[in-house]
Structure formats: structure tokens, C-alpha cells
């Protein structure tokens, strides 16, 4: 029996060696390992053997079958691979042609800076909020202590989008500043408050390199008990230092805005010369940054906040101007004209 097996294995192997096609290999496989193949028949005949014989022949038979199965599988794979390679060689495939790539979109420098500003103020406990871009005269002016016919209205040239006067809210305008959101937030949340408002504002301006009819501002408002301008100075210095990644100093000068008293102009130390004086800061060592001040009593009143108990400060700066200062952009119109050659640089 053992010899029969040995011989069968040798026969199968030499037949396999001679096989020169996939079909022929499959045929020989059938002859030995198929349903009525030689090896299969021996395995099937095992049941007639004595237990002792089974113990010897059984494992031998299985081993022979496994060996043959492996050899057949190997040879079949060789033929199949060859067939596949032949199939593929019919199609010409030039692996040196550059693939077509889809250009990735990318975040506008204004949005990048806005996200950074939001992140830093959030870390300092400020809420980020917004309000409508189409606003009433009431919110945009009156509630901010800028009464009708007050000369301060001329500080901001306004797009009026409604002729008729509403008794309570006046005409509708495109908001000229983010400050009206101060009142909306006071009405909605009451005191204490700590928030920033990034957003678009609109001015009826002739466009040039430093003026556009739309730009971005960030409003800030903090209302609580025992608040002073020292807190404002600290918050702004911390904000600018985190934003620019190096120590920045802040300076206050007196300024006029109807909704604050006292009102301030805020400068920060020139980023380029760090206060020594250079061409960028016109040799002053300082960059003009924004308007700010202690929130006017009338404004707190308009927002429904008890000015005996609470006080606070507010500020407003131009996000668009800050982007321009940061990257040395000399024409505001570049930011909104949609030219990808510009946008891709940031």
C-alpha cells in the first residue's frame, strides 16, 4: 500500500511536470485528486482495512494528498498569472502621465484671523455671538446714544434701505457697525455679560485702497460689577500677545464715540520695530488699533441694565484692517475681489 502511494505520487508529479497548459494541469489534477481520482479511491477504500492498517496508511494517504494539492495549486497559479499578464499587456498604460488632481479649497485669510480671534477670546471666557446685518436705525444709532440729527451720525455714511420711518425703530439700514449687537445682547441675556461679535458692516463710501463699502469688525463687550479700564487694558494686551505670539503693549488715548464715556482710541506697540519707530508705524512706535471706552449710561439704560449696579467697557476694531496689518496688504479690495492668485498666498 505504501508503495502504491509512493508510486502514485511520483507518477502524478512527473505528469504535472510535463503539463504545458492550464487545461492539461486541471485534467491531471482530476485524475489523481478528483471525485474518482486514484488518491481519492484509496482514501475511500480505507474503510475495508483493519484498524492497524488504517493507523499506518491513513496519515500517509492524507500527507500524499496534501502534497499533491499544493503542487497542483502552485502550477495552476503560474498559468493563471501568465494569462492575466497577457490580458493586461493588451491595454497600454502609461504610468508616467501625471494624475489629474482636484485643487483643494482653502480658508480665506479673513476667516482664518476671525477663527483665531474667536479662539483667543473664548479661552478668556468670552461668548462669540452675532446679530442681523440689516438693522433698524433704533439699534444701529438711537439705542447707542446717537440721536436723530446728531452730528455723530455723519461719522458713518449709511446705506438706508427703507424710505418710510417706523415709529419705534426708524428706517432699516445696512448696519454701519457691530455695536448694535451690544444692545441686542443686553436685552437678551442681561448682566453680567462677556462677549465678542465678529461680523460684516457696511458704509456708503467711495471705494479706494483703504476704504470699501463692506468690511469686517469685531465688537467686544464686558459688563459686570466693579469693572474698570484696567481690565480692558489687560484683556487687550493678552489678546494681542497671544495673537501675534510675542509681547505687545497697549496704549490708550482720549477719543470720542457717542456710546462710551470716557471714550478711547487704542494703539498697540508696532509689531515691526517693537516701539522704537519705523516706516510702518510712521516713526511713532505705535499702530492705531481701535475705539473703546466705558459703556455710556444711556446705552446700559437702552439695553435694560441697571447702571447703578453694573458697568462695563466696549470696544470695536476692524478685522479687515488687522488682516491688512498682519500681512502687509496695501489694498483692501484684494480681500474681496475673489482672485484666487491672491487668496492662495495665505
Tell me 142's DSSP state. Answer: G
Number of residues located near ligand DAH, criterion CB under 6 A:
11
CB of 190 to ligand DAH, least distance (A): 19
Q: Is 196 in the site for ligand DAH (CB under 6 A)?
A: no
Give whichever of 9 and 142 is closer to ligand DAH, judged by the CB atom.
142
Residue 179 binding ligand DAH, by CB under 6 A: yes
* Site residues (CB under 6 A) for ligand DAH, limited to 253-272: 257, 260
What radius of gyration, in Å, describes the C-alpha atoms of the chain? 41
Please select the residue that binds ligand DAH; options are 64, 129, 177, 320, rule is CB under 6 A: 177
DSSP 270: -
* Angle, CA of 254, 260 and 263, to the nearest 5°: 5
From 53-61, 62-70, 72-80, 309-317, span contacting ligand DAH (CB under 6 A): 309-317
**Residues 199, 137: Cα–Cα separation, whole Å:** 18
Among 57, 316, 325, 329, binds ligand DAH (CB under 6 A): 316
> At its nearest, how many Å lie between ligand DAH and the CB of residue 105?
31
Q: What binding mask, one character per residue, do residues 275-294 give for ligand DAH by CB under 6 A, x or -?
A: ----------------xxx-
* Cβ pair 205, 169 in contact under 8 A: no
CB atoms within 10 A of CB 217: 22
Query: Which region among 184-192, 241-249, 312-320, 321-329 touches ligand DAH (by CB under 6 A)?
Result: 312-320
Compute the C-alpha angle 233/237/238, nearest 5°: 115
Nearer to ligand DAH by C-beta: 30 or 132? 132
CB-nearer residue toward ligand DAH: 38 or 296: 296
Judged by beta carbon, residue 58 or residue 192, the one nearer ligand DAH is 192
- Shortest distance, position 342 Cβ to ligand DAH, whole Å: 26
Q: Closer CB to ligand DAH, residue 170 or residue 293?
A: 293
Whole-angstrom distance, CA of residue 338 vs CA of residue 239: 30
Q: Is 276 left (phi over 0), alpha (psi -120 to 50) or beta?
A: alpha
The reply to whether 215 sits near ligand DAH by the rule CB under 6 A is no
- Of the two residues 64 and 158, which places its CB atom closer to ligand DAH in the complex? 158
Whole-number Å distance between alpha carbons of 157 and 140: 12
SS3 category, 225? coil
Residue closer to ligand DAH (CB basis): 260 or 302: 260
133-160 core/surface letters (b: 16 or more CB in 10 A; e: else): eebbbbbbbbbbbbeeeeeebeebebbe
> How do the residues of the chain divide into helix, strand and coil, expressed in percent and rounded to 5?
45, 20, 35
- Among the listed residues 135, 336, 126, the one whose alpha carbon sits nearest the alpha carbon of residue 221: 126
Cβ proximity to ligand DAH, 198 vs 293, nearer residue: 293
Contact 146, 152 (CB under 8 A): yes
Q: Which of residues 59-98 bind ligand DAH (CB under 6 A)?
A: none
* 325 vs 144: CA distance, rounded Å: 29
Q: Indicate which single residue of 139, 219, 281, 332 sits in contact with ligand DAH (rule: CB under 6 A).
A: 219
Smallest distance, Å, CB 215 to ligand DAH?
10
One of 117, 315, 320, 322 touching ligand DAH (CB under 6 A): 315
The residue ranges that bind ligand DAH (CB under 6 A) are 177, 179, 219, 257, 260, 291-293, 314-316
Amino acid at each position: 500500500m505504501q508503495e502504491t502511494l509512493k508510486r502514485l505520487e511520483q507518477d502524478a508529479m512527473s505528469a504535472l511536470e510535463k503539463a504545458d497548459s492550464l487545461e492539461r494541469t486541471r485534467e491531471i489534477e482530476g485524475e489523481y485528486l478528483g471525485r474518482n481520482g486514484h488518491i481519492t479511491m484509496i482514501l475511500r477504500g480505507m474503510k475495508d482495512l483493519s484498524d492497524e492498517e488504517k493507523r499506518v496508511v491513513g496519515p500517509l494517504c492524507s500527507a500524499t494528498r496534501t502534497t499533491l494539492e499544493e503542487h497542483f495549486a502552485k502550477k495552476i497559479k503560474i498559468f493563471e498569472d501568465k494569462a492575466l499578464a497577457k490580458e493586461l499587456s493588451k491595454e497600454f498604460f502609461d504610468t508616467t502621465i501625471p494624475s489629474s488632481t482636484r485643487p483643494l479649497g482653502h480658508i480665506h485669510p479673513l476667516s482664518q484671523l476671525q477663527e483665531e480671534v474667536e479662539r483667543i477670546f473664548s479661552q478668556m471666557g468670552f461668548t462669540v455671538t452675532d446679530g442681523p446685518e440689516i438693522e433698524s436705525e433704533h439699534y444701529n444709532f438711537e439705542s447707542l446714544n446717537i440721536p436723530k440729527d446728531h452730528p455723530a451720525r455723519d461719522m458713518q455714511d449709511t446705506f438706508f434701505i427703507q424710505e418710510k420711518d417706523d415709529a419705534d425703530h426708524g428706517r432699516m439700514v445696512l448696519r454701519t457697525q457691530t455695536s448694535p449687537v451690544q444692545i441686542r445682547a443686553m436685552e437678551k441675556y442681561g448682566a453680567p455679560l462677556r462677549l465678542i461679535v465678529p461680523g460684516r458692516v457696511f458704509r456708503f463710501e467711495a471705494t479706494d485702497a483703504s476704504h470699501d463699502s463692506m468690511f469686517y469688525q469685531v465688537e467686544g463687550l464686558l459688563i459686570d460689577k466693579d469693572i474698570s479700564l484696567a481690565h480692558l487694558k489687560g484683556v487687550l494686551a493678552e489678546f494681542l500677545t497671544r495673537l501675534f505670539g510675542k509681547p505687545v503693549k497697549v496704549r490708550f488715548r482720549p477719543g470720542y464715540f457717542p456710546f462710551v464715556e470716557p471714550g478711547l482710541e487704542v494703539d498697540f506697540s508696532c509689531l515691526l520695530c517693537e516701539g522704537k519707530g519705523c516706516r510702518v508705524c510712521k516713526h511713532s512706535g505705535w499702530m492705531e488699533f481701535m475705539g473703546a471706552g466705558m459703556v455710556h449710561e444711556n446705552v446700559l439704560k437702552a439695553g435694560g441694565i441697571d447702571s447703578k449696579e453694573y458697568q462695563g467697557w466696549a470696544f470695536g476694531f476692524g478685522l479687515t484692517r488687522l488682516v491688512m496689518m498682519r500681512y502687509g496688504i496695501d489694498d483692501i479690495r484684494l480681500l474681496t475681489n475673489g482672485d484666487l492668485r491672491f487668496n492662495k498666498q495665505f
